[in-house]
A and B are shown apart, each in its own frame.
Chain A
Amino acid sequence: MLRRLQSFALGMGSLALWELLVRLLAVPSYILPGPLAIAGAFLEDPSGLLAALAATLAVTFSALLTAVIIGLLLALLVSMSPFLRALFEPWAVALQVTPIVAIAPLIIIWVGDPFLALVTCATIVAFFPVFSSTLSGLAAASAEHLDLFRLYGARRWQTLLWLRLPAALPYFLSGLRISGGLSLVGAVVAEFVAGSGGFASGLAYRLLEAGYRLQIPRMFACLVLLGVAGLAINGGLGTLEAALARRFRG
């Protein structure tokens, strides 16, 4: 509790210092607005900005869900045979290392529906951590535990269900946390690409728009909203991870 109070006080203090410096040095708000100007920009159009945030979060969570499903299924599939692994893994890696801005225009053309196009882009960004960490988790069951299951003539599905999957859970959760942050990043990047093509709804588009109009405090307000959303996603998934990982790591 005291630690929280301390960090809260520290945050408030640095905001006050920021405001003070901006005023003392007379920095124009189109270069660097103070916290009050940013809050003001938010309060000018809270419903518009919050609606944009909601649109971005809708993309983010749809992408995260899709990424989890695809990542899990692909990890399961690939863990079953070296052949499948050799078949799929290079593609997964290639997709991961290709910058999403480079393929986003293509995806937006291919996938007609704008929402689906954004979700597709964000999914491509987000799925890899879930996939790769679950894959290493599925291989993480100890040799002794595998011996134990073999000793009792366990079938493949029994070993998978009662040993490999529970052993993989902590790995999956740490991948999930990274994927959560990445799906927001992916959503914003995809919105940037799509937004410059005229599709308007998410927070990234509001950010671009404010930039074109030199409404710098409004840009900052968008950034703050994105930052808060990112922290909330990370914090939520982190709490989930901590709670479950303790149970499953022993």
Chain B
Amino acid sequence: MLLGPSGCGKSTLLRLIAGLETADQGRLAWSPAPPRPGEVGFVFQEPTLLPWASAAENVYLPLRLAGVKRPQAMGEVKAMLAALGLAGFEEARPRELSGGMRMRVSLARALVTRPRILLMDEPFAALDEFTRQRLQNDLRRLWREEGLSVVFVTHSLYEAAFLASRVVLLSPRPGRIAAIHAAPPLAAEGEERRTAEAYLDFIRTLGLALRALHLAE
């Protein structure tokens, strides 16, 4: 979880990891080897779906670009849509879906190649609170069940505290790692997690750390 104020380079860092930008200085170290296409999933701030293609076609896109034929891919595509609660919406066009559903399609598309690492750039920022919480719950479920590695960018304390196992705090201009906070062990999920004492404490800790960062600036 990358947490920091606007303009500190969270998104740029994510794009560097994805290989969408190249660094002026320094290098990215990968272990064991740099990822090939399809081994990195990316969820953008907007769902970024192709408006002329159905939900299934949108999820199929990464596989299609990798040369997987449609008949071989469709089973996986359907399963992925179902895992995100979109069974029955395979043929729906993006404009027929709500904002939350579009983001689910986008998430399914990022996961369909079974990436080693999933990069998420404030994906839920544009959603309403209720939809956002449901997607956060679902993301945690997928993260546990599929054993995902996720790098998630946010500027929301609550989102960071809810989703993260580790929160990396970035300082503004120049963007540096200011601190790394490990999340408290907490088995609870969903509503229970959101009201747990440890979660609320963690929010407080992160809030104080952020404030200290601002005062230092």
Q: Which residues of A contact B (CB under 8 A)?
A: 142, 144-145, 147-154, 158, 162-163, 166, 169, 247-250
Contacts and interface: CB of A to CB of B under 8 A. Distances in A.
A179 to B, nearest CB: 23
B95 to A, nearest CB: 5
Contacts of B190: none
A141 B65 CA distance: 17
16 contacts: A145-B50, A147-B20, A148-B42, A148-B48, A150-B20, A151-B19, A151-B37, A151-B42, A152-B37, A152-B61, A152-B62, A152-B66, A153-B36, A153-B66, A154-B65, A250-B95
Nearest to B41: A151
Nearest to A247: B52
B51 interface: yes
Interface of B: 15, 18-20, 36-38, 40, 42, 44, 46, 48-52, 61-62, 64-66, 93-95, 113
A151 B93 contact: no
B180 to A, nearest CB: 27
A158 B48 contact: no
Most central of A142, A148, A169, A249 by chain B CB within 10 Å = A148
Given A144-B46, A151-B40, A153-B37, A248 B51 contact: yes
Contact of B44 (A148, A154, A158, A163): A148
B51 A249 contact: yes
Contacts of A162: 50, 61, 64-65
Nearest to A155: B65
A250 B65 contact: no
A151 B51 contact: no
Contacts of B62: 152
Contacts of A148: 42, 44, 48, 61
A110 to B, nearest CB: 43
